[in-house]
Structure 1
Amino acid sequence: MAKTTPPVEKNQTIELTFEDLTHDGDGVGKVNGYPLFVPYALPGETAQVKVIKTKKNFGFGKLLEVTKPSEHRVEPPCDVYIQCGGCQLQHMSYTMQLDMKQRQVQNAMKKIGHLEHVPVHPSLGMDDPWRYRNKIQIPAAERNGEMITGFYRKRSHDIIDDMETCVIQDEVNDRMVEAVRRIASRLGIPAYNEEQHRGVLRHIMVRTGQQTNETMIVLVTRTNELPYAKELVAELHETYPHIKSIVQNINKERTNVILGRKTKLLWGEEYIYDTIGDIKFAISAQSFYQVNPAQTKVLYDQALKYANLSGNETVIDAYSGIGTISLFLAQKAKKVYGVEIVPQAVSDAKMNAKLNHMDNAEFYVGKAEEVMPWWKAQGLNPDVIVVDPPRKGCDEELLQAMIDMKPKRIVYVSCNPSTLARDLRFLEDGGFETKQVQPVDMFPQTGHIECVAEIELKVSN
């Protein structure tokens, strides 16, 4: 068979018209049917493009100049947008972002799940898709004898040190990172040197309760001791009264993982609090808590709607975390059983249930795929199962455990349309029917989309 040669060569400059987007938001243009993927290009645009890599069936290009811009092209408000890579879609109107994300889910349903008949509704977006993140974790380093903080440049561990602000972060978090950097630098606290594995301050993490305005600062260090801790802590909490907690996390490993296992309280409370809807949550340094609480409420309201609870149901929440979805469900259910593999999260969930005076939610440590068959053997028959797995989706054993339990309804909350579509196919083959999917934009300006799927047990004739 003759070897096909791409119609373009590396380093060649061509004019290209774009017709589509990848699921990451890169523009797709074709040369004689050969696709080129080009970041920051939009459908309908014509541009000068430099070919940077060619493979047998597709290639990659770099956008040089847009000669015919799309009506959906906007000026990114972030000064370091192209360097950073934390956001991928700031050059795209928010309307187009929401449309792109809906199509991404539709494509996954069609190509992976073979469920093109299932309605995928328009994405639920934000009125103001900026400054929504309630948590920032930012590396520290030293340059020319000064401490610097900033996100890494794309695909590197080189810090962008002229970064003044992050336009998707809560402004309080921005100011707190700058305050820690300024005070630590003045006190002479050494920043971490990744190459030599020396120095002290590795990361600054800030969490803010958006409804309560309570702030927690987490100082991630390589060493057990934090020099000048007393002075740093005193200046921070005396200057910024909204700070409720200052914590040191110790991470001695050579690793890309930000937090270590050991955490000690330097000042204030161990937890800060925030509310989603009517429910209050205690958040520690290590807690998993959604970074966009405004859209989390939209997401959970949708999950509650699809669960269709009347007050008499028994519900299982697999991957229950610190109890966020469980407690939303407990408002309307007779009984909720949460299962979660992380012991600390289960402790937090129990505390959150107590905090909200909810005695109809119980939480257990374990793998959902092992605990659920045991529950079934004990005679627990749920009416509804809610599942919110990580990006890799559900293990087949968990999907099978759900199928074996035969609940009337399953509500699947997903952060990855591809694994959602794969798992829905498995559930469909096991006797369930996907009724509808609702995308919710939890992460504006990025290529990520969350979804809620409503699934019902097929009634056999």
Structure 2
Amino acid sequence: MRCNVQKLCGGCSLLAVPSLKQAQQKREQVTDLMKSAGLDVKVEPVMMAASAIGYRNKVIVGFAKDKQKKIYSGLYAPKSHKVIDTKGCAMHPALLNEIIDFITETVASMKYELYNERTGTGILRHVLLRWAKETDEVMVVLVTSSKQLPGRRNLVNALVSRFPQVKTVIQNINPRDTSVVLQDESIVLYGNGMITDNLCGLKISFTASAFYQIHHDQCEKLYGLARDLLQLTPEDKVLDTYCGVGTIGLTLASSCKEVTGVEINKDAVKNAIYNARQNGIRNARFVAMDSTQFMMEARKFHTAFDAIVLDPPRAGTTEAFIEAACGLKPKKILYISCDPRTQARDLIKFKRFGYYTDTIYPVDMFPNTEHIETVCLLTYRGIKKGKYSSKKPEAGGRPARPVKGHGVPGSARGVKPGRRPAKGRHR
């Protein structure tokens, strides 16, 4: 498959590469990274996707004008704020492409002034779309520089009349000079501000800013792998950090005694609580708190967990998080990463507290791109004497109290535009 703007956009850099060769390249990439970090681990074959196109359930487009002053929409060129006309993008579901085209035409007919980053003038900045694959529900978020949006009722009516799949429309107000797309203030123009998908047999509802894996089918494979690796028992207590809307913890709830999810984003925690209730899950609770701080408090009050799960942003986690997690002395730590570079860095730090892994499992969450998701299970094997601690582990095969480290608590996930430089997840 070919794309006319592939080199300009950069969103599907491996589109012309056969899938088996992509798998080989990505496996080699992870293997090289782990070797460079001095980690003696086996990298399993890549868990490939059955569907490599039309999978992105979240799309953010910007707007610009061509030489004829005609408005077009598209993704951003790599490391720039230049909008590339990506009409009909193969990575987007056909429905989302149709909605983008409709909004672009409507915006042009309503003569909206496009936001100008240099002057700070104009109204329309971005449009964000989210899609629930199993239910076909769509969320539309209009990102504007102010609350003023002339004719927004007409725009919404036209949109939902043309596309009954659109279940909610939101206006997000972003007056700041920033590359972060969404800000805190939003107005629900239609619906209830959420859409609902079916994932791993559960109903999962989420809002505009909440984290939800970009590839539905690969996400189900990923969570199935996580469950298989953890091998939970009915007596196990699980701590799901960076839990978002609760997807991982809720899929594990039927396999263990209880799940505690921790997430700093309060809106995401509300989603998680709602998701637990709508699925009748009673052994899961969710806390709006920084994960590192929560674990420090848990250790202070002698709260124990058998397994800890972390799925941090692209930047990985912090040394403070790692120290706090190991200080709780779990039997197992499951680390899901969307960037094997930062995962390798963090695995070195986990080793200092006696937690090791033998195997890395790559999951192709982002087909036709250079990105890869990686998963590993860490278990406690003891702290090497001399460098960090000579104290023997406590009874039960759990680590002794580790030496104190440095670092700052993890931060909430940001939402950034499709092809701009981002510190957060690649979504």
Do these two structures clear the TM 0.5 threshold for a shared fold by scoring above it?
yes
Number of the residue aligned with 1:99: 24
1:359-411: CA deviations, max 9, x gaps? Answer: 11111122222211211222211111111111222211211122222211111
Number of the residue aligned with 1:124: 47
State the alpha-carbon separation in 2 of the partners of residues 432 and 194 from structure 1. 47
Does residue 175 of structure 2 align to residue 175 of structure 1?
A: no
Q: TM-score, normalised by structure 1?
A: 0.80
SS for the counterpart of 2:83 is: coil
Number of the residue aligned with 2:82: 158
State the alpha-carbon separation in 2 of the partners of residues 151 and 179 from structure 1. 16
Does residue 187 of structure 2 align to residue 264 of structure 1?
A: yes
Letter in 2 for 1:256: S
Contact 1:435 1:456 in 2 (8 A): no
What displacement does 1:303 show?
Answer: 0.9
Number of the residue aligned with 2:319: 396
Larger Rg: 1
Contact 2:64 2:114 in 1 (8 A): yes
Number of the residue aligned with 2:275: 352
State the alpha-carbon separation in 2 of the partners of residues 445 and 333 from structure 1. 36
Number of the residue aligned with 2:35: 110
> How much identity, in percent, do the aligned residues show?
35
What displacement does 1:319 show?
Answer: 0.9
Cα distance change, pair 377–215 in 1 and its aligned pair in 2 (3 A): same
Number of the residue aligned with 2:59: 136
What displacement does 1:412 show?
Answer: 0.7
Q: How does 1:363-442 map to 2 (within 5 A)?
A: 363-442=286-365
Letter in 1 for 2:77: R
State the alpha-carbon separation in 1 of the partners of residues 293 and 83 from structure 2. 43
Letter in 2 for 1:180: I
Does residue 139 of structure 2 align to residue 223 of structure 1?
A: no
Letter in 2 for 1:149: S
Q: How does 1:32-111 map to 2 (within 5 A)?
A: 76-111=1-36
Highest RCO, 1 vs 2 (Cα 8 Å, sep ≥ 6): 2
What displacement does 1:251 show?
Answer: 0.7
1:204-237: CA deviations, max 9, x gaps? Answer: 1111110000111111111211111111111111
Residue segments in structure 2 that go unaligned for 5+ positions in a row: 383-392, 398-427
Contact 2:243 2:262 in 1 (8 A): yes
SS for the counterpart of 1:299 is: helix
Contact 2:73 2:87 in 1 (8 A): no
State the alpha-carbon separation in 2 of the partners of residues 177 and 94 from structure 1. 28
Contact 1:388 1:412 in 2 (8 A): yes
State the alpha-carbon separation in 2 of the partners of residues 157 and 389 from structure 1. 26
1:406-429: CA deviations, max 9, x gaps? Answer: 211111111111221222222223
State the alpha-carbon separation in 2 of the partners of residues 267 and 207 from structure 1. 15
Contact 2:326 2:353 in 1 (8 A): yes
Contact 1:122 1:439 in 2 (8 A): yes
Contact 2:206 2:268 in 1 (8 A): no
Residue segments in structure 1 that go unaligned for 5+ positions in a row: 1-75
RMSD over aligned Cα atoms? 1.6
What displacement does 1:110 show?
Answer: 1.5
Paired residues in the alignment total: 383
1:243-291: CA deviations, max 9, x gaps? Answer: 1111111111122111122111111232110111111111212211111
Number of the residue aligned with 1:340: 263
The structure with the greater share of residues assigned to strand is 1
Number of the residue aligned with 1:39: none
Contact 1:317 1:326 in 2 (8 A): yes
State the alpha-carbon separation in 1 of the partners of residues 180 and 378 from structure 2. 36
State the alpha-carbon separation in 1 of the partners of residues 112 and 326 from structure 2. 55
Does residue 211 of structure 2 align to residue 288 of structure 1?
A: yes
Contact 1:135 1:173 in 2 (8 A): no
Letter in 2 for 1:146: K
What displacement does 1:164 show?
Answer: 2.1
Q: How does 1:291-330 map to 2 (within 5 A)?
A: 291-330=214-253
Number of the residue aligned with 1:30: none
Cα distance change, pair 416–105 in 1 and its aligned pair in 2 (3 A): same
Q: TM-score, normalised by structure 2?
A: 0.86
